[in-house]
Amino acid sequence: MPSYTVTVATGSQWFAGTDDYIYVTLVGTEGCSERTLLDKPLYNDFERGAVDSYDVTVVENLGEMELVKIEKNKYWVQDDWYCKYITVKTPYGDYIEYPCFRWLVDDKEVVLRDGRARLPKDDKTRLEKQHRRKELESRRKTYRWSEWQPGFPMSIDANTHKELPRDIQFDSEKGVDFVLNYSKAKHYIQTSYNKYVMQHWKEDFMFGYQYLNGCNPVMIQKCTKLPEKFPVTHDMVEDCLEREMTLEEEIKAGNIYLADYELMEDISPNSTDPCTLQYLAAPICLLYNNSQSKILPLAIQLGQTPGKDNPIFLPSDGQYDWMLAKIWVRSSDFHIHQTVTHLLRTHLVSEVFGVAMFRQLPAIHPAYKVHQLHVSLCLSFVPANGTGGGGHVEMIQKAMRSLTFRSLCFPDAIKARGVDSPEDLPYYYYRDDGNRVWDATKSFVWDVVCIYYDSNDTVQKDEEIQAFVKDVCSFGMQDLDCCEFPKSLKTREDLTEYLTVIIFTASAHHAAVNFGQVRFRARVSQIDICTVLFWWFNCRSAK
């Protein structure tokens, strides 16, 4: 009788192994095997990190392999099991791999297809089409949309971490690893670079440098005309200009830049402690690209409306007046960085893409395979001070008005701020490195797209990718006109750009605006990330 060799790989994370009963059923085009218990005498099967092989004997040849069904039945107590993958060696020597990478909890069964990526049009048999449909039906029941706050991007319907689907929860060892890495980070801030930052943070050149390559390198923009609300004159800044040009001439020459924190206007400060009043500023900062290509602050106004009670601070002012003005700017920059640049434009946006992906793309879809590893449904977090107690909600609601699809396209965002020229603004590594990563990612995605989509017509007829894009726009972004997210994709180029945005947002852009905090803000902020994470989920629990 024909014999198939079934190899089962158990995950290496904590508690991945199981003592429960594991059964397998092989399904082919010509028939299926009996439900077979995978068990070796006098052997502890399915231990953490184990790769176990078993022989499954059938009466007749099953034909071409289509599916593998795995069942887990309770032995004594609930004992979850994480299955990485299953391989099947046929009697003819073929090896077929069935990726799983999911938890089997309680008495549960999982039906797997082989790891080859396929579009809906590639499924020919009734069984293949049925499996594809049932997988998405099940996912849509598990991954449901929910609105945490009006005007926010939609999120997954879960109030606490434990309510998240098991497969996207943090594993136990990740939580421990998180705490250990945080402890290492506190030690890391003693490096020479961080000591240098601590020694020079008061100086104008360090203040300006952070606009290019600090934690929030997305605020600086070319100033083509001074806004009326910021009445800086040549006489005010003449002593700081180095090229024997007037301020107007410097602007025309492209040497003047602006950082406007208008978003902070009228945001409610933290009022959780009635005995301690807190304040927020909505500053405007004028910046100068000097003859040594250093970005230096020229003038600072701490409010959006000019007047006697809202003076313009200058480098020529008293040492502590000027330093305090810069501190207020940096405080506002911190709030926008954490709440908008980091939370909204990486975590919350990635969550929209992630939920839509699970709802509309089966595991064998090539687009799912391309960006599954990059979309993280990890815990989002917000600042625990300053804009807490409601202010962070107001900020995100206001920031949503400028969150467009094109603003997530890195080259477009850089160009929109007028900072795309290395000749005009050198040493902007966020821009230069970001463009390289964007181009490399887009090139890779294009190659993958061209493998599966031979024409634009194939893109248009892929109902799953079209449903995914529509779900992102109509549900995830609540069909807001200001966001301008596409509701459909027409060409292979459109699909390539869309997938590149997803990957870049959740990987490169998040890295750029997240990891620099250790260098620039660990000493200043002293934010306990663990506390922040729990605070964020407590907020979601109280919705």
Q: Which residues are part of a known binding site for Ca(2+)? A: 17, 39, 79-80
Nearest to 405, CA basis, from 481, 514, 338: 481
The tokens for 24 are 């397998």
Phi and psi, residue 257, nearest 5°: -130, 165
> Measured between alpha carbons, how far is 195 from 486 in angstroms, rounded to an integer?
46
> Measured between alpha carbons, how far is 490 from 497 in angstroms, rounded to an integer?
12
> Measured between alpha carbons, how far is 337 from 284 in angstroms, rounded to an integer?
16
The tokens for 90 are 């046929």
Which helix (H) or strand (E) segment is 349 a member of?
helix 349-360
Axis crossing angle, helix 204-213 with helix 192-200, rounded to the nearest 10: 130
- Which residues are documented as binding site for Fe cation? 342, 347, 510
> Measured between alpha carbons, how far is 58 from 345 in angstroms, rounded to an integer?
53
Nearest to 380, CA basis, from 182, 180, 529: 529
Nearest to 378, CA basis, from 334, 348, 400, 408: 348
DSSP state string for 455-490: SHHHHHT-HHHHHHHHHIIIIITTT-GGG---S---
Residue tagged 């850089």 (tokens): 414
Q: 3-class DSSP state for residue 84?
A: strand
Cβ-proximal residues to 336 (8 Å cutoff; 6+ apart), any chain:
216, 219, 261, 263, 264, 395
Strands (E), 384-460: none
- Which residues are documented as binding site? 17, 39, 79-80, 342, 347, 510
Contact 87, 97 (CB under 8 A): yes
Contact 328, 207 (CB under 8 A): no
> Measured between alpha carbons, how far is 326 from 332 in angstroms, rounded to an integer?
10
Length of the chain: 543
Residue tagged 């089997």 (tokens): 104
